[in-house]
Structure 1
Amino acid sequence: MKRYFLFLFFLVVLSSNPLVAQESIRVVSDFEGASVRVLEIDQESRRISFMPGGDPERGWPCWWYFRVDGITPDENITLRLHGSLASVGKQKPLSASWAMPKYATYSVDGKTWNHSEAGRRDGEWMIYQITPETNSVYVAWGPPFTPKTAAAFVRKMGQRSPYATATELCRSRQDRSVPMLHIKEGDRSNKQRFGVWVQARQHAWESGSSWVAQGFAEWVLSDDEQASWLRKHAEIFIVPIMDIDNTATGNGGKNSIPHDHNRDWSATPHWNEVRAAQQNVKGLINEGRMDVFLDLHNPAPGDPSFFYVLPREMLKEPMISLRDRFIELAYSRISQIKPLIPMSNKPKVTGASYHPLWKQISTNWVSMHGNPHTVSLCLETIWNSKNSTTSGYKSVGANLAAAVREYLAERPVRP
């Protein structure tokens, strides 16, 4: 009997000792879009120190996304983030600020994404605290939007709406499908329709831009009467992810070797996605109906610029006044979404002083090769704010789509 009570005593002691009872926390990154370099896991303090992962030759190493297993539900986990030390050639490592959003993004099911409390900067580290109610949690730089997410969304829209067709832009260099949504309603011929091209994620780490594209598509396919007008008068193409390979493998994409997708709009594109997009856009140009081209991005951490455009002196009328009108309409709607503000309604120019390959930037290429009435814009959605969430991003997309409708409604209807 004495031994029995002694056994019970030690059992109680062991079960009440958190170092014994708690399972070891583990970092898992063997899934689509994941990226992390683990520096240390301190089991006693339940703290994970890490950097963004990714191959620097395949883009800026600022994206991070992984799962933490072995958590005791409702316990506090500390994430300790350091900027990547990787560099390409003689370039210095990327500034840590690109990898350090004010809020970490987390999910207990990999579907619904939330913000952590604001992170705390401690020297070269950013410290986030999360307290998941489950024994496993996904954490990321921003709300992930993977190739599987894109394929599922495009397929769902195609099944739900008689006006949407789930299709494929092309196969990537690594033979991945690049999902695309094609939208139109009614009996108008294509030549009677405005041409609208929307693409996101030419830089793989900019996950927020894909959610903006989703919000755009959801509004266009909604029951709103204005959305119906747009579907009846336009032919709309939406590509949620352009750099599909780097998005799948968790690489940053921007400034990848030999250059990223948004520096590839030349006479001989390197990337299959750019080549295919160019061919589609050229078709709209040849038919005289490349009306609105939108390339969706996320900017630098503190950049308030909302649109990036060619210098005015490089364009002719009516392109300048039409572009200014579209910016006015879009900004008046989107600037009301707080707290994505402050942002600037003064576009940033992307001419010769911006980048050596400035002529090969998508929106510049479309402006220089498009129709006289073409509006071609790069839209940057702020990622480092409290409202940089899936719902916040989709709200930007919905308002952008409504601005497209409002703008095209002012244009002469095609006979």
Structure 2
Amino acid sequence: MQASHCIAVEPLTVVSDFEGASVGDIEIDQAARSINFMPGGDPERGWPCWWYFRIDGIQPDETITLRLHGSTATVGKQKPLSASWAMPARATHSIDGETWLHTDKGQRDGQRMIYTLKPDAASVYVAWGPPYTPITANAFVRLIAEKSPHAEAAELCRSREGRGVPMLYVREGELETQKRFGVWVQARQHAWESGSSWVAQGFGEWLISDDANATWLRQHAEIFLIPIMDVDNTATGNGGKNAVPHDHNRDWSPQPHWNEIMAAQRKIGDLVGEGRMDVFLDLHNPGPGDASFFYVLPRDMLSEPMLSLRDRFIDLAYARISKMKPLIPMSNKPKVTGANYHPLWRQISSNWVSMNGNPHTVSLCLETVWNSPNSTTEGYRAVGANLAAAVQEYLAERPAKP
């Protein structure tokens, strides 16, 4: 009789001991090669909708099934967060942790969303969306500074947990500071909204490019770009949104809780004092069913020229982003963040800058769609590049600083 050979199947394991990882309630069915899980994270540190982990032990040519359940965590008497925030239509995956792809469209099965993927590798990273951690942000600002003599890798501040907050500073030429437009771009006040950091990266990549309009912007403005504001929750895999005592985008008050907000207010205050707070952009991702759009203050809260200038900028940005290829869905109707929006509406960053800025300041929040087929690193970066081009087009219409 010929001897038979048994080949042991490597057990699947879930690994989450790295920056930005988050997963909870793990159950692995080794026979079915499937993983049941829910988002991890401390709900007191923000909405538990972010998930990101690595799967090891995958066999050649095998399909893995992910069975996602919404988090059951609560804070106080609050109800659990709606599962839709944790369930993108397509999950994100990567073999090397650098190139991020979408799975096929997931299938809803009762309280679970089911994704399948065939990674053709022994390990694969899976996530809610393309991760962007403080390590990524540090590497990005350093790379841009190495590529361009007009860019500096700086640090906004140290966080409450002692992490550096990377900042890119860009200017070119000999034009004196007082004659330059001031441009402030920040992302990720809500840690789970990873797509906003990729938008910021696209902005920075365009900014140091050889495009003639990028050169003009570098020569006529000084630009501050922060890819991640809430570095602590991003690093620890927490959601950030509605964190206790409040999240970063409800902290723009006379006495901020978060170090990042204190530092940003000081620098923006300097620009305002010099009459140079020209464009402020706060980058986010919206609800699961939303296209891209801008948040604005109610019209009756603004006076001229701020109102007309804001409208002009929105028109320019919409004209560029809405015509991008591949298409990133965008609405030309802004949403309002006034008194009916949130009890701390005055402490939202774009509102605070509008109310404390110069008469000509344009201050906006851009929400970039995350739940569409083109909500990828490439799509997000293209939004950032087009947003940067809109900033240049807008400022080129403005009179030179006296």
Amino acid at match of 1:101: P
Checking the alignment, whether the CA contact within 8 Å between 2:317 and 2:390 is kept in structure 1 is yes
Who is 1:314 aligned against?
Answer: 301
Map of 1:10 onto structure 2: 4
- Kindly tell me the number of residue pairs found equivalent between the two proteins: 402
Structure 2 CA distance for aligned equivalents of residues 177 and 39 of structure 1: 32
Contact persistence 2:321–2:328 (CA under 8 A): no
- Counterpart in the other structure of 1:26: 13
Residues 338 and 387, structure 1, Cα contact 8 Å, conserved in 2:
no
Aligned ranges 1:206-221 → 2 under 5 Å: 206-221=193-208
Partner SS for 2:392? helix
- Please state whether the residue corresponding to 2:364 is helix, strand or coil: strand
Using the size of structure 2 for normalisation, the TM-score is 0.99
Q: Counterparts of 1:41 and 1:109 in 2: how far apart (Å)? A: 23
Kindly indicate whether the alpha-carbon contact (under 8 Å) linking 2:29 and 2:35 is maintained by their aligned counterparts in 1.
yes
Q: CA deviation at 1:305?
A: 5.2
Partners of 2:249 and 2:348 within 8 A in 1: yes
| Counterpart for residue 289 of structure 1 | 276
What is the SS of the residue equivalent to 2:156? strand
Q: For 1:343 and 1:221, how far apart are their aligned partners in 2?
A: 26
Give 2:130's match in structure 1, choosing from 125, 143, 157. Answer: 143
State the one-letter code of the partner of 1:371.
N
Shift, 1:38, TM fit: 3.4
Equivalent position of 1:105 in the other structure: 92
Conservation of the 8 A alpha-carbon contact between 1:40 and 1:48: yes
Give the secondary-structure state (helix, strand or coil) at the position aligned to 2:169: strand
Cross-structure match for 2:79: 92
CA contact (8 A) 2:328 2:375 kept: no
- 1:172 aligned residue (154, 159, 182): 159
RMSD: 0.9
SS of the counterpart of 2:62? Answer: coil
CA distance in 2, matches of 1:297, 1:340: 18
Superposed displacement of residue 39, structure 1: 3.1
Q: How does 1:326-405 map to 2 (within 5 A)?
A: 326-337=313-324, 340-405=327-392
Q: Larger deviation: 333-342 or 274-283?
A: 333-342
Query: SS at the partner of 1:40?
Result: strand
In 2, Cα distance between the equivalents of 1:294 and 1:308?
10
Among 282, 303, 307, the residue aligned to 2:290: 303
Give, in angstroms, the shift of residue 74 of structure 1. Answer: 2.2
Q: What do residues 219-254 of structure 1 show as CA deviations (whole Å, max 9, x unaligned)? A: 010000000000000000000000000000000000
**Could you tell me whether the CA contact under 8 Å between 2:42 and 2:238 is conserved in 1?**
yes
Quote the residue 2:108 is aligned against. 121
Deviation at 1:339, TM superposition (A): 5.9
1:221-260 map, 5 Å: 221-260=208-247
Check if 1:272 corresponds to 2:259.
yes
Identity across aligned pairs (percent)? 73
Give the whole-Å Cα distance in 2 for the aligned partners of 1:126 and 1:338: 29
Give the TM-score normalised by structure 1.
0.96
- Of 39, 42, 46, which residue of structure 2 is paired with 1:55? 42
| Distance (Å, rounded) in 1 between the aligned partners of 2:248 and 2:325 | 31
CA contact (8 A) 1:97 1:301 kept: yes
Q: How far 1:340 sits from its partner (Å)?
A: 4.8
1:241 partner amino acid: I
Q: CA deviation at 1:338?
A: 5.2
The whole-number CA distance in structure 1 between the counterparts of 2:4 and 2:329 is 59
Give unmatched runs, 5+ long, in structure 1.
Answer: 16-20
- 1:118 counterpart SS class: coil
Which ranges of 4 or more aligned residues in structure 1 deviate by more than 2 Å? 337-343
| One-letter code aligned to 1:84 | S
138-147 or 339-348, which deviates more = 339-348
Q: Distance between the aligned counterparts of 1:154 and 1:160, measured in 2?
A: 10
Shift of 1:22: 1.3
SS at match of 1:226: helix
Aligned to 2:184, what secondary structure does the other structure show? Answer: strand
Structure 2 unaligned spans of 5+: none
Partners of 2:96 and 2:393 lie apart in 1 by 38
Find the aligned partners of 2:210 and 2:221 in 1 and give their Cα distance. 16
Which residue of structure 2 aligns with residue 18 of structure 1? none
Going from structure 1 to structure 2, the CA distance change for 1:162 and 1:308 (only over 3 Å counts) comes to same
Of the two, which has the highest radius of gyration?
Answer: 1
By how many angstroms is 1:281 displaced? Answer: 0.3
| d(CA) in 1 for partners of 2:111, 2:323 | 35
